[in-house]
Structure 1
């Protein structure tokens, strides 16, 4: 079983209107609602692929109850810890080809509420083959919250795939996550220098490993990715870019990595699966789903090369 942790999930709400004019009232033609947050997207992709997965995290209020119900409707297994505050919502107003997004702040998690979640997390990790830790942290948590979760997973002998950014990423490196998966911008910010070229990206990945990550994968959007692993340092380039919605592509990539680790695949096979799933996610209009045909085709277009700084 893969345990997909999402400390700060969201209920994603989309309004469709003919046009958006500030200061005016609007008639909404369509309302779409789905469970969101990076870890929730990871769980949804894995469930769609018929993998054994459980989503966990912190929810609260009516929006948290709606998120859990939405996962039930999708058939995604979940075990959440409940807090007094309300789960955040992301509200997207779509008018024509333009989207305006409003991100709510989410709940403030107290010390006792966090302790309750960590106890649940530790119990779930006992039955997991891989743990993924994804996304932002809710207010009230210490910056090293992901470091704590990484150690709890390691106490159970379970490898961790970490996908976060900023100060929580840097703090988590001290706990030695097994795989850090970030994009080039996040990697550059963590090491304090650009990660634009493939050589610069590899340099950043090596630095993240020096800071504590056992292995590191840095995605570069349509330009491919760089992976610094115990099997070697690889640059991966793609064929024709996939057009569509990139939201959730990184989460599909994380899901593919986790499944490859669970199945003990060689690193090149893990990267091929993950990159394919990311491309397949771009082809879908919403996060948490993968176009299998696009994913399979994309996997055949990847070019691998061993690289050095």
Structure 2
């Protein structure tokens, strides 16, 4: 299979490299200013393309790894986008974090053009992308997933078929709401602890030995203790986007969003008042700065 990828950012770069080096597939990638450096991809045989239409013309499988629904909709639905350009039988694998209702609309466009669609968001970090150990939550037809499993195997540790189309993105938003919600709460508590002179290592140890033990603590502890933000290279602005997608999804379902609204408000303040490139662990400092101000 010939593979195309659109979105060679923090996550997509690792995916692309493993498709080439571990999977041995031919790869075309969209040349874009938002990409990570791609010299290593070219050295491995990857080919840069100037347009989405070029990617579509060269690919049996197209992986999308972009920010969210607006970007996916522009890629798929533009006059010269994927739906207008793909080859019959092409499978689009959307690894972005997107709104389920938008996913269903994009899939319908691709199907009308003779292709098929899977939503396959990721639940791990850029480190796992580079190690080839991502986990995917895949929505769509089982036979479509089976057709692309060799490609997915090149950059994943676990691929879970979670239900029909749209359920991958629905579960990713549920997952990220819980994950980001935990980290936002923890960051606020860590900021309060710092403001009152609590030893940061003692704070982490008390939580780790009690009810606060969690993946959220594991990811934020390096920053709480030693201001190392790189344990979780995930922008606060993207965390806010995911929470607001969750709220949109919940509104559409008529579900309660009381806690989610509070998380969104806290992250919005951090985005408005902090640096644009702040990572989620830096919420510990941003929350404290706002309080002191």
TM normalised by structure 2 equals 0.35
Higher helix share: 2
- Specify the structure having the higher radius of gyration (Cα): 2
Higher strand share: 1
